[in-house]
Amino acid sequence: MTLRELIACRIRAGGPLTTADFMGLALYHPSLGYYSRVPRRTGRAGDFFTSVDVGPQFGALLARQLDEMHRLLGGPAANGFDLVEAGAANGQLARDILDAAETDFPEFYRAIRLTLVETSAAARASQSETLGRHTSRLVAASESMPERVQGVILANELLDALPTHAVTMTAEGLREIFVDLEGNQFAERTGPPSTPDLARHLDRLDLRLSPGWRGEVNLAAVTWVQEAARSLARGFMLLVDYGHPAEALYSDSHGTGTLTTFRRHQVGTPEDDAEQRGGPAWLAHPGTQDITAHVDWTSVRTAAAAEGLTMLGLPDQTHFLLGLGALDDAPTGADTASVKRRLALKTLVVPGGLGSTHQVLLLGKAVGTPTLCGGSFKT
């Protein structure tokens, strides 16, 4: 059975699915889901690029930030440092961080106890090979977060990939967007919200939403942050993603929502899906395209604060990486390796690229309010 048939059967048997349930199956069905089937979906051979795919520079710069965090937690005297990466895919970012730490920050390298958290079994199975000689640093490769972390919880582009609900405001009040069948085609259907949590979530944000407005409410992102915050005994959380504060995300400038699909480096369309002609792109190609939505940083920050985390900064990626000295030792040579490294840094830092679309949320627990180098760049 294909994933499309499986989803259609579920709708016939149980009625329309929420957007979150559809996205959960399309991305994470254990054997047919988009992320479940292969170790890594990004990069030139994949469907879209993350900062990790640009080259090892992103991980090397993160290693500087993590080394500072290690020192703030007591350095070698602290008796080890948990580095937990969530949504780690095949472990490429961890590998880049460990490569840089081994050469540039040996004390930090020796302290690292690495845990990779990843739902995709195919991705988990490939992590040891990616880590190579650093596999001895890996204490766990798991589907779920460890119970107690003393160190850092790190995630790059995890929150945008969590299954989200979609809602719309009507003259009659808030309605949810469901996925139904029209003949054999998937179609959007609005109906009363599947859970009161959606209205509660929006009420807490105290927004004015006009009829016709549509957007996403990512309850799973809030739950993930709450649980991660609870597992952090002492240390930092560093979340990189693309998003907006709630008042910008839930405004007219994003009044049709931010659900987006990627397939072979193109924004997906239903026209090239043999069975789903027309309709919204996110209903096409279940299991073979990415579906993503922008992060509501306000809700993420609020959830973290409620669990005792302190906000230490929310710079965009450009300023974060400049604070870490991204351009301080940029290679100047005309050889191919130097040119490649300059181009990679440009993609990561220059406004208009990943630098301005992505932000870095820096949080701390039981660490005071240090100014981190990633949050220190002044224009």
Ligand X SMILES: C[S@@+](CC[C@H](N)C(=O)[O-])C[C@H]1O[C@@H](n2cnc3c(N)ncnc32)[C@H](O)[C@@H]1O
Asked if 317 contacts 346 with a C-beta cutoff of 8 angstroms, the reply is: no
- Residue nearer to ligand X on the CB measure, 52 or 238: 52
Instruction: Tell the smallest beta-carbon distance from residue 42 to ligand X (Å).
Output: 5
The reply to whether 89 sits near ligand X by the rule CB under 6 A is: yes
Q: Does 42 bind ligand X (CB under 6 A)?
A: yes
SS3 per-residue string spanning 168-183: EEECCEEEEEEEEEEC
According to the binding rule CB under 6 A, does residue 87 interact with ligand X? yes
Candidates 67-75, 152-160, 185-193, 325-333; binding stretch for ligand X (CB under 6 A): 152-160
Query: Considering only CA atoms, which of 53, 63, 91, 69 is closest in space to residue 362?
Result: 69
Radius of gyration of the chain (CA): 21
Torsion sign across C-alpha atoms 12, 13, 15, 16: negative
Considering only residues 17, 62, 69, 86, which one is a binding residue for ligand X as defined by CB under 6 A?
86
* 359, 316 contact by CB (below 8 A): yes
Q: How far is CA 172 from the centre of its chain?
A: 34
The dihedrals phi and psi of 122, each to the nearest 5 degrees, come to -65, -40
Least distance in Å: CB of 358 to ligand X? Answer: 10
Taking CB under 6 A as the rule, which mask of x and - marks residues 105-144 in contact with ligand X? ------------xxxx--x---------------------
Helix (H, G, I), strand (E, B) or coil at 225: helix
For residue 257, the minimal CB distance to ligand X (Å) is: 19
Binding characters for ligand X, 280-319, by CB under 6 A (x = yes): ----------------------------------------
Q: Which is nearer to ligand X, 50 or 258 (CB)?
A: 50
Compute the least distance from the CB of residue 274 to ligand X, in Å.
Answer: 26
Contacts of 336 (CB under 8 A, 6+ apart): none
Per CB under 6 A, 364 contacts ligand X: no
Interface positions, 43-62, toward ligand X (CB under 6 A): 50, 52
Asked whether position 84 contacts ligand X by CB under 6 A, the answer is no
Using CB under 6 A, which of the segments 82-90, 225-233, 246-254, 365-373 binds ligand X?
A: 82-90
**126 CB burial (10 A radius; 0-12, 13-18, 19+):** buried
In sequence order, which residues have a C-beta less than 8 Å from that of residue 257 and are 6 or more positions away?
166, 214, 215, 216, 293
CB of residue 193 vs ligand X: minimum separation in angstroms? 23
Q: According to the binding rule CB under 6 A, does residue 94 interact with ligand X?
A: no
Q: Which of 21, 82, 99, 157 binds ligand X (CB under 6 A)?
A: 157
Query: Is the distance from CB of 213 to CB of 329 less than 8 angstroms?
Result: no
Task: Using alpha carbons, select from 95, 81, 72, 47 the residue that is nearest to residue 310.
Answer: 72
26 binds ligand X (CB under 6 A): no
Which residue's Cβ lies closest to ligand X? 87
Separation of alpha carbons 38 and 54, rounded Å = 20
Q: Is 156 in the site for ligand X (CB under 6 A)?
A: yes
Which residue in the set 35, 81, 250, 282 belongs to the binding site for ligand X (CB under 6 A)?
Answer: 35
Pairwise CA distance, residues 293 & 162, whole Å? 8
Q: Name which position in 3, 54, 153, 161 contacts ligand X (CB under 6 A).
A: 161
DSSP state of 95: H
The residue ranges that bind ligand X (CB under 6 A) are: 35, 42, 50, 52, 86-89, 93, 117-120, 123, 156-158, 161-162, 224
